[in-house]
Amino acid sequence: MNTSLVRTLVGALIGCATATLGTAWANTISGVRVDPAAPEAGKPVKIVIEGQASNCGLYVDYGDGYSDNIKIGDREGTLPRELTHAYAKPGHYTLKVVGKKITTRLPCDGSAQASLTVAGKPAVTATAPSTGGAAAAATCPEGWRLLGKVARDGSFRCAAQAPAAGLNCPGKLKSFEKDGVIGCGRAGK
């Protein structure tokens, strides 16, 4: 048997396998999409991070002061990845996605960004009393209300607002609202 031919064939097979595995296991961010393209303040925006990745980390900067570190993997999910985010105020924002090392995950390759213009009026805002430093602002999205007070560290909670009118219930059932839950039920139950 010709050893030169065997070496050439083995080298070609290894080269093909390496090229195939390199493509199949690429951890690359290729783009980011926002839906709707012109969202309203306080309403959720669907963000799709496009690419091919199965084991890496990435950083999302929403452009409004909020960000997320995201692990990509078997337990956490792969790319493409869908996220949601609500922009509290109208304005022009640049959403950026870049690879970042997170714990044991190496950074995803590549980066992407999208520009969006948020329309509408700002969500309801409450301000904590000043304690010598800057006042903390709490922003609840449309349809939600501030629950309690804003803490000194700026933490707060929002609860869904009860509808202006009760539900239209069938038959002898009555509309009710209790502890942030609405529904139809028998009177007194």
**For 4-28, how does the pLDDT look when each residue is reduced to its tens digit (9 = 90+)?**
555 555 555 555 444 444 444 589 9
Task: Tell me the pLDDT band of 188, cut-offs 50, 70 and 90.
Answer: low
**For 141-171, how does the pLDDT look when each residue is reduced to its tens digit (9 = 90+)?**
777 777 777 777 777 777 777 666 677 788 8
Query: Full-prediction pTM beyond 0.85?
Result: no
- Let me know: does 56 contact 108? Beta carbons within 8 Å: yes
pLDDT given at position 187? 67
- Let me know: does 99 contact 56? Beta carbons within 8 Å: yes
Q: Rounded mean pLDDT of the chain?
A: 77
Question: Could you give all domains of the chain from N- to C-terminal order, each with its CATH number?
Answer: 25-118 (2.60.40.10), 124-185 (no CATH)
Of 68, 64, 65, 49, nearest to 111 by C-alpha is: 49
